[in-house]
Amino acid sequence: MIAHIVDPMTSAIRSVWVVVLVLGACAPTTLAGTDLGLTDAPDFTLTDGVSGHAVTLSAQRGRVVALTFLYTSCPDVCPLTATRFRSAQTELQGDAGRVTFIAVSVDPDRDTPQAVQAFSAAHGLASSWFFLVGGRGQLSPVWAAYGIGVQAGSATVTHNDAVYLIDARGRERVLLHSEDLAKDLTGDLRALLKG
């Protein structure tokens, strides 16, 4: 019979690695951007300008959500944000279907279903994408709930360039801005998809 000898040093090292792995698995996800403290995202229901169907934020539970505020005739930040959303969908590959990208209109007078459909098509946004529209009375409470200031001019609309990332449990996790999207959006979405 051969005796099995356990080296106490090897056993101690294994124990340390087990502790490190367990603690690493329990560590909070580190995200770029402004930490929003795990508060529940304010719920809303609006109409998708592409499909015409009602979309409720809380119905997206189980999926990570990237929520922003855009308008179709925007000359600068809105097309950039849409392009970054499309890039993130491409970079996420097979995981892209686990993320919902939502834009809420900040221009109820000009963001018609036709304008939203053309904007979405121009930016290659179709799957897991909603561009929500409505009248000012429907949109204003959503803007207020997310701290979006909107000033409409004759041709342009001034508004915050906020992108809220919401986890699969419906909690606000991080706030990004347009200048952060190229370097942080996909990484943050991947981190949220992990857990």
For residue 39, the SS3 value is strand
CATH code at 31-194: 3.40.30.10
Choose among 172, 189, 195: nearest CA to 34: 172
The owner of tokens 């001034």 is 158
- Quick: pLDDT tens for 148-187: 988 887 777 888 899 999 999 999 999 999 898 999 999 9
Every domain of the chain and the residues it spans: 31-194
- Quick: pLDDT tens for 51-89: 999 999 999 999 999 999 999 999 999 999 999 999 999
The answer, yes or no, to whether residue 22 has pLDDT greater than 90, is no
